[in-house]
Copies of this chain bind each other. A is one copy, B any other.
Amino acid sequence: MTYRQQYALADGRDLFYYDLRAGQDRSAADRRELPETATASQIRWDPLFQEWSVIAGHRQSRTYKPPVDLCPLCPSRDGRQTEIPAADYDVAVFENRFPSLAGESAETFGVVEDFPFASGPGVGRCEVVCFTSDHDTSFAQLSPQHARTVIDALADRTAELSRTPGVEYVFCFENRGEEIGVTLSHPHGQIYGYPFVPPRMLRAAQAAAGYSAEHGSCLRCELLRREVEAGERVISRTEHWTALVPFAARWPYEARLVANRHVGSLPELTGDERDDLARSYLDLLRRFDRLFEPLVGSKTPYIAGWHQAPVRQLAGNWHLGAEVFTIRRAAGKLKYLAGSESGAAVWINDITPETAAARLRGDHSGDASG
């Protein structure tokens, strides 16, 4: 069981505590004097390259790598007021003070079109998920029980944001490591409620719908079946989850954690599936952290994201999975997104998926990279 309590921050932003045990007192008030958050973001359509950008001009002045004694994600203690008023917490979620997307829209899509210029208000939601009150740890070091509480929090937020007018996709993700530009080192993730289905998810949803129309079955169920049969890219497998390196991986080390059952999003998972997910996900993150051992003083930087079903559009055929990838291709070497990736959207991957899977399994034979 996960126990939720809801409060408001001084400027009216929502705050949620998710605790492992009932009866925790999280009622401490936010005593800061905060100006109301002003957001003025827009979504804009590029008619040539066919994608939305989020223009968030108000975010340039946001908090940038504050010293540790000013960490806004630590609990409020000793008279120091942070974003979390309580003196301790298990998992806490709050609305970002500098959101890229904020507010609701009665219409699902309030876009004004004056061809070739199409734009709309940047409605949606940006939330911060504090995985633990311990500043110096990481997701991979949480207990399975604590990780399960994080998963429950993500599922709860997904369900609630899916009911928010104007939100078309809920994306839960974690950026970990300075190499990825993370400005706060406290273990945390983010949740974006986008006012459109992101292009990468839209293409996957269209592919799944097309496959289903032709074959009457799920593309990702078939992909999973064939990957398990082939075996060489499978990292690990439990009753409910399979971790594998995708056949056409874009990143040097990239894994997908796929639900064995055909299920669309986190809120639909059973208790057993969530417990198993907590263990499987921790196992996968720890494999990433071991990749570059004995590299000293540096945890593997990674981006992790959940592939959930879109809220409405093409939601029917989706199959839930998570993605974890690192931008590190060897100790001391990073994979940069340069001309081919950023300019043409073609990823060049210097490590074969089969080599990556072997190394993530812990099999170092045939490893030429180091």
Which residues of A are at the interface with B, using a C-beta cutoff of 8 A? 44-57, 59-61, 64, 100, 116-117, 119, 169, 171, 173-175, 180-182, 190, 192, 194, 198-201, 203-204, 206-208, 211, 219-220, 222-223, 226, 230, 246-250, 303-305, 323, 325, 329-330, 333-340, 342-353, 355, 368-369
Q: Which residues of B contact A348 (CB under 8 A)?
A: 53-54, 56, 59, 100
Q: A204 contacts which of B49, B226, B335 (Cβ < 8 Å)?
A: B49
- Which among A304, A334, A343 has the highest number of chain B CB atoms within 10 Å? A343
The reply to whether B44 and A303 contact each other, CB–CB distance below 8 Å, is no
A168 CB → nearest B CB, Å: 12
- Cα of A348 to Cα of B334 in the assembled complex, Å: 22
- Cα of A219 to Cα of B368 in the assembled complex, Å: 48
Q: A57 contacts which of B182, B343, B355 (Cβ < 8 Å)?
A: B355
Q: Which residues of B contact A173 (CB under 8 A)?
A: 339-340, 343-344
- Cα of A236 to Cα of B173 in the assembled complex, Å: 40
In the complex, the chain B residue whose C-beta lies closest to that of A192 is B340
The reply to whether B349 and A54 contact each other, CB–CB distance below 8 Å, is yes
A306 CB → nearest B CB, Å: 9
Using A339-B171, A343-B323 as known contacts, say yes or no to A50 and B350 having CB atoms under 8 A apart.
no
- Cα of A208 to Cα of B48 in the assembled complex, Å: 7
Using A53-B249, A171-B339, A352-B57 as known contacts, say yes or no to A345 and B46 having CB atoms under 8 A apart.
no
A249 CB → nearest B CB, Å: 7
The reply to whether A207 and B116 contact each other, CB–CB distance below 8 Å, is no
Q: A339 contacts which of B55, B64, B174 (Cβ < 8 Å)?
A: B174
Q: Which residues of B contact A55 (CB under 8 A)?
A: 248-249, 349, 352-353
In the complex, the chain B residue whose C-beta lies closest to that of A368 is B60
The reply to whether B117 and A247 contact each other, CB–CB distance below 8 Å, is yes
Q: Which residues of B contact A59 (CB under 8 A)?
A: 348, 350
14 further interface pairs, Cβ-Cβ under 8 Å (given A53-B250, A175-B338, A303-B339) = A47-B219, A48-B219, A48-B246, A49-B203, A53-B249, A53-B349, A60-B330, A100-B348, A173-B340, A175-B339, A181-B335, A182-B338, A192-B339, A337-B337
Q: Which residues of B contact A247 (CB under 8 A)?
A: 44, 46, 116-117, 119
Q: A60 contacts which of B54, B180, B336, B351 (Cβ < 8 Å)?
A: B351
The reply to whether B345 and A50 contact each other, CB–CB distance below 8 Å, is no
Using A203-B49, A339-B303 as known contacts, say yes or no to A350 and B56 having CB atoms under 8 A apart.
yes
- Which among A175, A226, A340, A352 has the highest number of chain B CB atoms within 10 Å? A340
